[in-house]
Structure 1
Amino acid sequence: MTVTSPQQPAENFTLSYLSPAVDEFIRLREKIGWGQTDREMAKTSLANSLFHVVLRQQDKLIAMGRVVGDGAMFFYIQDVIVDPGYQRQGLGHIIMENIEAYLQKSVKKGSTIGLLAAKGKEAFYRRYGYQDRSGEVLGLGMCKFI
């Protein structure tokens, strides 16, 4: 995987690698239609993440992404979210470029990087080298939602 230095946001946005606050994380997920998230579950999930990248306009969380996993063999890209009012401005690209820069430093030969793309967003992730699982070699991949 070839990644240049991470892209920085435009002047009116700030980028950080700190976890978002639990309540703002929950609100952002709700804004894009992912439903309500249990507060304690969200708190634990954020605390156990390997990497966060957050974009803000002033103090408002407008975009984020994170990496979860065991930090060695398996890494999963989660919660790449851009507030609907800020979409189509390249913020998702900034999030992914920063995630890719983190992964480039963290993964080793034999590591697996996975993600579950939201329906209709598959082409976005293909730009970063992620491939659809056809099922021919590895199976289609599966998940279970509780």
Structure 2
Amino acid sequence: MKVTIDNHPPTLEEFITLRAKVGWGDTPLQLAKSALDNSFYHVVARNDDTLIGMARIVGDGAMFFYIQDLAVEPEYQNKGIGNLLMKRLESYLSTVASTGATIGLLSAKGQEDFYSRYGYVGRTGSPLGLGMCKFV
């Protein structure tokens, strides 16, 4: 396996396909296009020319950054691909997130330990509350 990491976004088809393969459902083409176009940082992992992982960062680029869609093709999970993606994200964030910025993410259930390795902590409810989200 020859894995390469780069900062180009996945194609629309790759994005839609990988999201479906990891169980995130079907993403309409126009919604996928808007999501990719409005992300300000992308990282992908490829085995030769085949997309095997991706992640992106959304937010305002100053105070709030949000790690979104960190996904690894199921057959490549638990092989260090997610770590490669996170290291690239963290490297980028170290250059753009100034003191006082917030970096957030929603962890898939059972993946909290993965993100804790990079300094992310669960919100316990004190002092900031547990956090909330709304799915449309």
Q: Scaled by the length of structure 2, what TM-score is found?
A: 0.98
* Residue 132 (structure 2) pairs with residue 145 (structure 1): no
Q: 1:54 aligns with which of 40, 44, 59?
A: 44
Instruction: After TM superposition, give the deviation of residue 58 of structure 1 in Å.
Output: 1.6
2:92, 2:38 → 1: CA distance?
Answer: 16
Instruction: After TM superposition, give the deviation of residue 136 of structure 1 in Å.
Output: 1.2
Q: 2:58 aligns with which of 50, 63, 68?
A: 68
Structure 2 equivalent of residue 134 of structure 1:
124
Does the 8 Å contact 2:5/2:85 carry over to 1?
no
CA deviation map 1:39-90 (0-9, x unaligned): 1011011111111110111211100111100000100000110100101110
Structure 1 equivalent of residue 93 of structure 2:
103
CA deviation map 1:8-47 (0-9, x unaligned): xxx7112110010011100000001110011101101111
Does the 8 Å contact 2:3/2:45 carry over to 1?
yes
Higher relative contact order, chain-length normalized (CA < 8 Å, sep 6+):
1
Q: 2:67 aligns with which of 68, 77, 89?
A: 77
1:113, 1:139 → 2: CA distance?
Answer: 16
Question: How many pairs are equivalent?
Answer: 136
* Residue 81 (structure 2) pairs with residue 91 (structure 1): yes
Secondary structure (helix, strand or coil) at the match of 1:18 reads coil
* Residue 53 (structure 2) pairs with residue 45 (structure 1): no
List runs of 5+ in structure 1 lacking aligned partners. Answer: 1-10
Structure 1 equivalent of residue 109 of structure 2:
119
Identity of aligned residues (%): 54
> Which ranges of 4 or more aligned residues in structure 1 deviate by more than 3 Å?
none
